[in-house]
Amino acid sequence: MSADRIAALKARLTHMENEALRREDYLAIIKLQRAYGFYMDKGYWREATDLFCEDASYEQGVDGVYVGRERIHEMIVKLTGGNSGPGLPFGQLHERFQLQPVITIADDGNTAQGRWHELSMFGQYGESAEWGDGVYENRYRKEDGVWKIASMRLYINFVAPYEGGWATLKSVEGDWRSPALADFPPDRPPTDVYRPYPDVHVPPFHFTHPVTGKAVA
């Protein structure tokens, strides 16, 4: 009798230890992405890219896919004005708010996916100020007990001038790749050639509908 009860207790404890790990994983993944944002804000490119797996990939807009942590680091430095950091030069604003996470951890607890909404404030004092809007669909991987970014996909929706905002934007015509990457081609072509706002683009959802369980597209 008590042997049965002890066996049942052990099974419940084992299940819960696994459940507790999921709760910790969830918070660790959110911390990882939010830490990325805080490093990017302050020009800490090396700290930001150290959050990626060695073989990670990064893709934003229609710039194509950059593979490997060092390539991602070089790409981010080029996209953000070319300084090595850590730090920003006088007059550069680079605020990247990491908001609204939906995190889905795989059953085996080794990988995860996350959707985030990014609101940005970009600027160069005396020259320009912009609002940025984008959605991330990222993948994460646990290596030796540590969550890392396995792939980052930023679907830029707009970068709009402060004056007039998004109402001033016109549909993009043809190639809208980042000029800063003109001499730094990607390792793979873009996975999705879309047009940003004012066109409507719905970044694919990694997660099924929380109530119906069906795919939303």
Partner 1 sequence: MMSIGTIDTLDALETHVADLELRIARQASHEAVERLQRAYAYYVDKGLWGAAADLFAEDGTWEWGQSGVYHGPARICAALALRGPERLATGELNNHYTCQPIITIAPDNMSAKARWRSDMQVCKDGAASWGEGTYENVYVNQDGVWKIASLHFYVTVLWDYDEGWVFGNLPMDGPSETLPPDAPPTEVYGSLPDVYLPAYHYPNPVTGAQPETAVLPELSADAPDQLAQRIEALATRITRVEDQRACEKLQRSYGFYVDKGMWNDVSDLFVDDSTLEIGGRGVFLGKKRVLEYMGIGLGPTGPQREQIINHQQFQGVVTVSDDGKTARGRWRAFVIGGSSWAPVNWGDCLYENHYKKVDGVWVMDKLHAPFTMYTLYKEGWHKTTTPNTRPESFPPPPDLAPTVVYLTYPNYYCEPFHYPNPVTGKIAPPPHPAAGGVAPMRAMPPGDA
> Does the CA dihedral 35-36-42-43 come out positive or negative?
positive
User: For partner 1, how many residues bind (rule: CB under 8 A)?
Assistant: 86
Give me the least distance between CB of 56 and partner 1, in Å please. 11
In 10 A of CB 124, how many CB atoms?
15
Which of the stretches 17-25, 57-65, 175-183, 185-193 binds partner 1 when contact is defined by CB under 8 A?
17-25
Query: By CB under 8 A, is residue 75 in contact with partner 1?
Result: no
Query: By CB under 8 A, is residue 109 in contact with partner 1?
Result: no
Among 51, 62, 112, 154, binds partner 1 (CB under 8 A): 51
- Cβ-proximal residues to 191 (8 Å cutoff; 6+ apart), any chain: 59, 65, 153
Distances (CA, A) of 24 to 36, 41, 57, 102, 208: 18, 26, 25, 15, 22
Beta bridge partners of 58: 66, 152
Query: By CB under 8 A, is residue 207 in contact with partner 1?
Result: yes
64 or 118: CB nearest partner 1: 118
| Backbone torsions φ then ψ of 130, nearest 5 degrees | -140, 150
Among 176, 184, 194, 197, binds partner 1 (CB under 8 A): 197
Q: How far apart are CA 36 and CA 52, in angstroms?
A: 10
Query: By CB under 8 A, is residue 83 in contact with partner 1?
Result: yes
Within 117-156, which residues bind partner 1 (CB under 8 A)? Answer: 117, 119, 121, 123-129, 131, 133, 135, 146-148
Residue in the structure block whose two tokens are 């918070």? 27
- In three-state secondary structure terms, 179 is helix
Query: By CB under 8 A, is residue 55 in contact with partner 1?
Result: no
Give me the least distance between CB of 159 and partner 1, in Å please. 13
Which of the stretches 60-68, 174-182, 184-192, 199-207 binds partner 1 when contact is defined by CB under 8 A?
199-207
Query: By CB under 8 A, is residue 211 in contact with partner 1?
Result: yes
Query: By CB under 8 A, is residue 174 in contact with partner 1?
Result: no
Q: How far apart are CA 18 and CA 69, in angstroms?
A: 31
**65 contacts 58 by C-beta, under 8 angstroms:** yes
83 or 188: CB nearest partner 1: 83
64 or 112: CB nearest partner 1: 112
Give me the least distance between CB of 189 and partner 1, in Å please. 25
29 or 64: CB nearest partner 1: 29
Closest CA to 192 of 62, 56, 57, 58: 62
